[in-house]
């Protein structure tokens, strides 16, 4: 395994980030911080202009810089800056604690801050050339030297290389094993495939960490073997190829081939636990999507009436205003909660539409009595009852999906309870009195049995290591579903947990013995030579020559004590569980229990790091593919990786621009192409277009982008406008890509 201090091995152009700084040789004299080079008509002649008084001097290489330095020392318009004139800066740190320091301008630090601003804010590199940005920087920091978009792009690449080394060091210091998620993204502009690999682990402070470590274009063929090679190369470059615990994947057919190939490679290096029995974890959010998608198509009658009725009301601004006035004045409802429309690619929008319609049920009935055109959409009492039942039914899937797709807390321990709730709901509903749900539920059961007929063993083990559940809760859940056969399932899970725990005990003892051995060698006490010559242990008593029974006797004592003493796992399981619905930080629990359960806590650390979803919360409900829009896909692959990874790493540092509930925020700038005639606003060398002004679709922000990027999507009309905008993009690119564009356009719904 590569050392944590050694550079990442590169054989695929990985070092191109470090070479970004070498493309343009910079002047080293400090006078150029306050002087600007001027080009003359005669290329052999060079001038320098003072930034303070604008005086022009000769700047030939033969003239040196002494005369420029003398001028700066005596320049009347130069602001004197010595230690007594430093500004005291009081700013809140990322942790919220204010700190006071003497401010001194640092050009490198300022450029790094600009890179952070561009990446975290999803701004175009051309932002640094805009008059507004330069005016802001001139006021905020007069010493800041304006940079071009090319320089900004190089700064981002260099910043990425610097942060990459820091993240590599974090991974090397991870006390436990590392879990991976991998999924593929598709470019709707170039039809290229990208692979996104994310590392998850629990650090020494028992905090869950997540970092994107690769976001690169794949080369055909896009099969399991090729993707496995890419993943192995990535792990080798990051030096974590012998620290992998599991990988979470969706249900794509090529993933089975990829996992088989990875297992074989890890077995050869002895870098996999239990012969890979627990290596693969299937994405639970993806499976839930498949289950719900199979059902909604069969429950479209009453849903269509609600959908079309809401469209009718929201189509007219006057009608919409009258509707909310009636709701406010006559029914005293909180009209800040609006009627919601659904879209075909996000099933949670259908649930939210039904929920909002139930909230305005009385108003909709009132509207149906007074508007003849709306009467065809009005629902009967039985239909409203069915809507309430369907909404309650979908709420379970909605809540479970939200829990499964979290990334800031452990989810492995929550898998068992979530899947059991879905399983129990399907069994109870198909036997229940609501016959209109029966066809839909049977379709869902087929999908459920296809993927979850057998609960994941490794994730069921994680549930037992949640102090609220332990073994009794697992037994209860299986009893409610399997009856007398529950004990068979419980015994299978428990035996696998013991197998895994024994593996960790062996690793823990081997680590402890190696440390103890090295300590004994170094701390060995000196022995008197005369005593050593007459050491009784060296005397042959004639009972077997060189045979020494002391080691065998120690082994016997260890085995006897192991058989008689209870393991840490047994002690943990015998203790009473915590309150089932208590709000606890399970990582904090194991952090405090690590002294008592030193071996079991190692297993808990790695199990709780397993992510059960490959998608973030904003994508968990989408039925479309994960798509890279033309605005990003037109960049060079190395730039795409630098921007995506750096953005993720900055969020881990606290530079998050997305508030809680950020999945409701729409990033419309990635949907809109450039406007012909304005210039593409691209990154120059990164542009894949044949020329500027041709609508290359680069990552840019037009005026409409800035407007739409604000939180204006609280407005229903803005949502409708964006929906139609996405439809136009989809039609322009062909009908097959329309749902992909819509899926991004409706991310906030």
pLDDT of residue 154: 92
CA dist 465 and 569 (Å) reads 9
Q: Where are the alpha helices (DSSP H) in 182-269?
A: 224-238, 254-268
pLDDT of residue 550: 72
Over residues 245-273, the mean pLDDT reads 86
> 391-442: per-residue pLDDT in tens?
999 999 999 988 988 888 999 999 999 999 999 999 999 888 888 888 889 8
The phi and psi torsions of 84 (rounded to 5 degrees) equal: -80, -10
Contacts for 674 with CB less than 8 Å, ≥ 6 apart = 680, 681, 682, 695, 696, 697, 698, 700, 702
Beta strand 244-249 with 280-282 is parallel
Are 659 and 604 in contact by the 8 Å Cβ rule? The answer is no
Over residues 231-243, the mean pLDDT reads 92
Over residues 6-11, the mean pLDDT reads 46
Over residues 540-558, the mean pLDDT reads 60
Asked if the model's pLDDT at residue 366 lies above 60, the reply is: yes
pLDDT of residue 726: 44
CA dist 673 and 629 (Å) reads 9
Min mean pLDDT across 93-107, 500-514, 516-530, 555-569 is at 516-530
Are 698 and 678 in contact by the 8 Å Cβ rule? The answer is no
| Better pLDDT: 122 or 501 | 501
Rg (CA), the chain: 32
Contacts for 173 with CB less than 8 Å, ≥ 6 apart = 4, 203, 204
Over residues 215-222, the mean pLDDT reads 85
Strand partners, 24: none
The H-or-E segment that residue 180 falls in is: strand 178-187
Share of the chain above pLDDT 70, in %: 70
Asked if the model's pLDDT at residue 559 lies above 70, the reply is: no
CA dist 97 and 60 (Å) reads 50
Residue written as token pair 């869950």: 208
pTM over cut 0.85:
no
The phi and psi torsions of 95 (rounded to 5 degrees) equal: -85, 0
Residue 672 structure tokens: 């809109």
pLDDT of residue 426: 93
Angle at Cα 188 formed by Cα 186 and Cα 192, nearest 5°? 50
pLDDT of residue 158: 94
pLDDT of residue 524: 42
Which one, of 636, 716, 637, 719, lies nearest residue 671 by Cα? 719
Which one, of 591, 325, 284, lies nearest residue 421 by Cα? 284
The CA distances from residue 274 to 51, 75, 283, 329, in Å, are 67, 74, 21, 66
pLDDT of residue 545: 52
**Which band of pLDDT confidence, cut at 50, 70 and 90, is reported for residue 710?**
very low
pLDDT of residue 704: 26
Q: Is 612 helix (H, G, I), strand (E, B) or coil?
A: coil
Top mean pLDDT of 467-481, 521-535, 629-643 is at 467-481
The CA distances from residue 201 to 215, 238, 269, 407, 530, in Å, are 19, 14, 21, 11, 55
SS3 letters across 270-306 = CCCHHHHCCCEEECHHHHHHHHHHHHHCCCCHHHHHH
Residue 322 structure tokens: 């009258």
Asked if the model's pLDDT at residue 706 lies above 70, the reply is: no
Sign of CA dihedral 671, 677, 682, 687: positive
pLDDT of residue 480: 92
The phi and psi torsions of 317 (rounded to 5 degrees) equal: -65, -40
CA dist 432 and 434 (Å) reads 6
pLDDT of residue 665: 31
Q: How many CB atoms lie within 10 A of CB 714?
A: 12
């Amino acid at each position: 395994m590569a050392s944590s201090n050694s550079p990442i091995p590169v054989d695929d152009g990985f070092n191109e980030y470090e070479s970004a700084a070498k493309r343009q040789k910079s002047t080293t004299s400090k006078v150029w911080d306050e002087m600007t080079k001027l080009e003359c008509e005669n290329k052999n002649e060079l001038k320098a202009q003072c930034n303070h008084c604008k005086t022009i001097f000769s700047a030939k290489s033969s003239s040196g810089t002494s005369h420029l330095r003398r001028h700066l020392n005596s320049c009347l318009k130069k602001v004197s800056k010595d230690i007594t004139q430093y500004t005291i800066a009081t700013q809140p740190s990322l942790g919220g604690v204010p700190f006071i320091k003497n401010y001194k301008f640092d050009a490198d630090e300022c450029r790094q801050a600009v890179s952070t601003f561009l990446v975290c804010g999803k701004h175009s590199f051309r932002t640094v050339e805009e008059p507004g940005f330069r005016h802001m920087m001139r006021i905020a920091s007069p010493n800041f030297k304006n940079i071009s978009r090319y320089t900004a792009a190089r700064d981002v690449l260099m910043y990425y290389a610097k942060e990459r080394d820091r993240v590599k060091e974090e991974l090397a210091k991870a006390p436990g094993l590392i879990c991976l998620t991998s999924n593929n993204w598709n470019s709707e502009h170039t039809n290229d495939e990208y692979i996104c690999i994310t590392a998850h682990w629990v650090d020494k402070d028992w905090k869950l960490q997540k970092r994107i470590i690769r976001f690169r274009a794949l080369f055909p063929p896009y099969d399991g073997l090729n993707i496995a090679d890419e993943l192995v190369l990535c792990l080798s470059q990051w030096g974590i190829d012998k620290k992998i615990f599991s990988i979470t994947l969706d249900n794509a057919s090529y993933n089975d081939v990829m996992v088989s190939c990875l297992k074989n490679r890890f077995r050869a290096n002895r870098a996999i636990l239990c012969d890979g029995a627990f290596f693969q974890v299937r994405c639970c959010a993806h499976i839930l999507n498949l289950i719900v998608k199979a059902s909604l198509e069969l429950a479209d009658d009453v849903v269509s009436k609600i959908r079309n009725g809401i469209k009718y009301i929201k189509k007219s601004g006057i009608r919409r205003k009258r509707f909310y006035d009636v709701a406010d004045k006559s029914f005293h409802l909180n009209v800040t909660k609006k009627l919601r429309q659904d879209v075909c690619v996000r099933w949670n929008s259908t649930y939210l539409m039904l929920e909002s319609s139930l909230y305005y049920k009385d108003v909709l009935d009132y509207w149906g009595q007074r508007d003849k055109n709306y009467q065809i959409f009005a629902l009967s009492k039985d239909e409203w009852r069915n809507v309430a039942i369907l909404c309650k039914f979908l709420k379970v899937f909605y809540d479970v999906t939200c829990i499964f797709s979290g990334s800031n807390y452990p989810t492995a321990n929550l898998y068992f309870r979530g899947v059991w709730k879905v399983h129990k709901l399907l069994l109870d509903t198909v036997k229940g009195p609501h016959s209109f749900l029966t066809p839909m539920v049977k379709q869902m059961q087929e999908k459920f049995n296809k993927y979850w007929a057998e609960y994941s063993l490794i994730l069921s083990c994680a549930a037992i290591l949640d102090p609220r559940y332990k073994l009794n809760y697992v037994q209860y859940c299986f009893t409610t579903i399997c009856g007398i056969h529950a004990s068979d399932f419980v015994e299978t899970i428990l035996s696998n947990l013991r197998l895994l725990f024994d593996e960790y005990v062996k690793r823990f003892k081997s680590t402890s013995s190696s440390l103890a051995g090295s300590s004994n060698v170094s701390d060995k006490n000196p022995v008197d030579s005369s005593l050593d010559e007459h050491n009784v242990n060296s005397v042959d008593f004639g009972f077997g020559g060189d045979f020494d029974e002391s080691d065998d006797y120690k082994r016997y004592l260890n085995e006897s004590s192991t058989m008689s003493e209870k393991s840490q796992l047994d002690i943990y399981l015998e203790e009473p569980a915590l309150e089932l619905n208590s709000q606890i930080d399970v990582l904090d629990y194991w952090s405090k229990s690590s002294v008592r359960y030193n071996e079991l806590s190692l297993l808990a650390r790695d199990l709780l790091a397993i992510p059960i979803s490959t998608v973030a919360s904003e994508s968990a409900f989408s039925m479309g593919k994960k798509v890279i829009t033309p605005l990003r896909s037109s960049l060079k692959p190395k730039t795409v990786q630098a921007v995506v990874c750096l953005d993720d790493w900055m969020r881990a540092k606290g530079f998050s621009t997305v508030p809680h509930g950020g999945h409701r925020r729409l990033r419309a700038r990635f949907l809109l192409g450039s406007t012909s005639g304005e210039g593409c606003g691209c990154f120059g060398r990164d542009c894949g277009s044949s020329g500027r002004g041709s609508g290359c679709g680069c990552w840019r922000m037009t005026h409409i982008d800035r407007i739409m990027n604000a939180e204006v999507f609280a407005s229903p009309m803005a949502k409708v406008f964006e929906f139609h905008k996405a439809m136009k993009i989809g039609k322009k690119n062909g009908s097959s890509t329309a749902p992909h564009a819509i899926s991004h356009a409706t991310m906030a719904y």
